[in-house]
Amino acid sequence: MIHAFEYRGTYLVLDVESGAVHEVDKPSYDVISAVEQGNAVYALPYSHSLIKEITDEIDELRKEGLFDTPAPAAPKANAAFSPIKSMCLNVAHDCNLRCAYCFAETGEFHGGRMLMPLDTAKAALDMLIKRSGGRYHLEVDLFGGEPLMNWDVVKGIVEYGRMLEKEHNKHINFTITTNGLALDDEKIDFINREMFNVVISIDGRKEVHDALRVTPNRKGSYDVIVPKAQKLVSERGDGEHYIRGTYTADNLDFTEDVKALTRLGFEQISIEPVVLKPDEPHAINESNVDKAIAEYDRLADYVIERRREGKPFNFFHFHVDLENAPCLAKRALGCGAGVEYVAVAPNGDIYPCHQFVGDSAFLLGNVLDKDAEGNVPLNEDIRQSFASCNIFTKEKCSSCWAKYFCSGGCAANAHKLNGSINEPCDISCRLLKKRTEIAIGMATVKE
Amino acid sequence: MKHIKNIQKPCIRNGANTACGECQASCQSACKTSCTVANQKCVKTAK
């Protein structure tokens, strides 16, 4: 499979199965596009000798394994034998904001407000260690709701995790995802010392952020959060972090939000499309998705402009590291939800990922329920349904050129928008493909 | 070649020395909603 596309005036061709990328001239682009779309190449307005030259070059690349490479065999995935290496710990099903687009019902997750007791958090980590098999690197994201609302448990679980690391010869990368409202000097120090990564939610321009990210008494949160986020980031140095925003139908000019974040001094930025059903307020849907896609071109221009000015910043979805990219097995498995990644609710209930929390149809077990040998039994049928949901098994994905970049997309979004984890959301796919074309272009074309 | 220039060698590794599983789960990176795998690094090759 191949994919021909244009990136800022340069014609590129991706050999999907190998990941090789070619820069081509316009006649070659037209010939290859015709091949990709199943059209006759000799119907193109070029001389037969030119088309022959191009098809000869294509044949040469094909012999070298650089063009239209055959698909590999699908890796086998058996959830029952898969270690769990990654855990989202919902330490607080409560939040100090009431964001209009929150997937977690402003912190309630369909089950009422609750904080995770330390003993439950410890039981979750015990399960992670026990289920991690031979994996050395483990990940625990402290999530909510708003995790800073359960600060003592955040500190307690990191301390407990550090003890488990020594006991079991593991390394736990703790991360935290916060709205930043409750940050103070003590929390900033702790986060910068202990967290491998920190994600702070800011939507960009003040008016955009304050329109949807409001306190319970409907006040905007921007003015409180931004100075705290700036302090955390400036004191963090080179430590990994992201300023993560959400864009909606209300700010399809989201390049302006990225610009606003760069003006605040942030250099690690991720702005994501909101995930809502098409008829919900603020949703990205058929009526506005083309505008969102076009906006990524504007954003790419801004990224390049800043590079040329010697003031580069990283936009999460325009970054691919082709030299050190993940292997096929990783790309096939995707996010790992339900297989190597699980989320734990404050009451100990286990779900395939944070977005399924509270949905009883996806309940895998509870960290407090142990069998006679101290193991936490999991619903292996549900786990296997996630293991079997991958780019080789999903009809839409197996024939898609972007499959090795998105790994099949988000199972939770597919379930939410299409009622099945096996049915990717078309709008998410179209946005992802656009971002991927730009990312490949940025990684390969010399500006 | 006159018309086609290779600018990126094959980069999807398969077979020996892959599938160690030590890399970060993708949803645990910066996104938490829109899955992207290729912007992550392989723990082994990035060292």
Q: Which residue among A270, A329, A330 sits closest to B31, beta carbon to beta carbon?
A: A270
Name the H helices within chain B. Answer: none
Phi-psi region of A133 (alpha: psi -120 to 50; beta: other; left: phi over 0): left
A402 burial (CB, 10 Å; 0-12 / 13-18 / 19+) is buried
Q: How far is CA A343 from the centre of its chain?
A: 15
pLDDT tens per residue, range B1-47:
899 999 999 988 887 788 888 888 877 666 666 666 767 888 877 65
Helices and strands of chain A, counted as H and E runs: 15, 15
Answer whether B27 sits within 8 Å of A337, measured CB to CB: yes
Q: Which residue among B4, B8, B22 sits closest to A137, beta carbon to beta carbon?
A: B22
pLDDT tens per residue, range A298-347:
999 999 999 999 999 999 999 888 888 888 888 887 788 999 999 999 99
Alpha-carbon gap, residue B33 to A443, rounded angstroms: 23
Question: What pTM does this model have?
Answer: 0.94
CB neighbours of residue A208 within 10 Å: 23
Q: What is the DSSP letter of A369?
A: -
> Residues A223, A252: contact at Cβ < 8 Å?
no
pLDDT tens per residue, range A1-15:
999 999 999 999 999
Share of chain A above pLDDT 70, in %: 99
Answer whether A326 sits within 8 Å of B4, measured CB to CB: no
Best A25, A327, A331 member to test B by mutation, with max B CBs in 10 Å, is: A327
Best A200, A335, A437 member to test B by mutation, with max B CBs in 10 Å, is: A335
Answer whether B25 sits within 8 Å of A331, measured CB to CB: no
Residue of B nearest to A144 (CA): B32
- Alpha-carbon separation of residue A159 from A153, A162, A194, A235 (angstroms): 10, 5, 10, 22
Strands A341-344 and A349-351: antiparallel
Residue of A nearest to B46 (CA): A324
CB < 8 Å from A in window 19-38 of B = 19, 21-38
CB neighbours of residue A278 within 10 Å: 13
